[in-house]
Amino acid sequence: MDDHVEIRPAEPFDDLPTLGDVPAATAAQMAEADRIASEELGIPLELLMENASHQIAVAARTFLGGVANRRIVAFVGSGNNGGDALGALRHLSGWGATVGAVLSGRAERLRPLARRQHDILANLGVPRDAAVDDADLVIDGLLGYSVAGPPRDAVADLIRAANASRLPVLAVDIPSGLHPDTGEPLGVTIRAALTVTLALPKRGLVATRSRALVGELLLADIGIPPQAFDRLTIETRGLFERGDLVRIIR
């Protein structure tokens, strides 16, 4: 598969900057870039999560044409994707949306960064176990690019619930249940209207077979510098020169 994908604008993202092509990364490459950024370059993971959360919120606002008086619910896994989704709810709440979260497990089982985002929302009075019946958008923060097998138990149940709701779903980084490298469903898989992938698109997102599950595909800058990708021989300099959110057409 070609590691480069073409970008051009389309509704509702026709004001976004356009680029000729963008490199795609495997899950292993993305994990190594994350490690280099945090451990060797000293960029706190919490800062990257905050950047990701803001970008997801901006994409949600753009997709909905504004969030005042809109209702947005996040389905939240235990990992950093869940933390990104929770952080996005904080921004969206501040912009006028009514927000709620549904956790796939107990709050005590959230990873540290995700737990911190959860506790902030709890302090703000954001409800847990929110109903999705009258929501305008569901944010999928259940599973990320490190997924190793089919979704199980509560995560699988929430994926089914999101798909059955027939509400538009915004997937954080990658639709939960999708193989990050091949684009094959690993089992029950989120069917997203919009996917906001972080730093670089994962190869599976640009595979032809994944189009119906990925929906619109946006690429967001979360502050991982080009130096983190140099060792992987992936060139990202200038990628976000004209804007930090771009649309990918496969």
Tens digits of pLDDT across the chain (250 residues) = 445 554 443 477 777 765 558 899 999 999 999 999 999 999 999 999 999 999 999 999 999 999 999 999 999 999 999 999 999 999 999 999 999 999 999 999 999 999 999 999 999 999 888 788 889 999 999 999 999 899 999 999 999 999 999 999 999 999 999 999 999 999 999 999 999 999 999 999 999 889 999 999 999 999 999 999 999 999 999 889 989 999 987 7
CA distances from 156 to 45, 104, 105 (A): 27, 9, 12
- Which residues lie across from 100 on neighbouring strands? 73
Q: Are strands 4-5 and 22-23 parallel, antiparallel or unpaired?
A: antiparallel
Phi, psi of 100 (to 5 degrees): -155, 160
Output the CA torsion sign for 193, 133, 93, 153: negative
Nearest Cα to 84, choosing from 42, 113, 63? 113
The DSSP 8-state label assigned to residue 31 in this structure reads H
What's the rounded Cα separation, in Å, for the pair 222 and 213? 23
CB neighbourhood size of 1 (10 A): 13
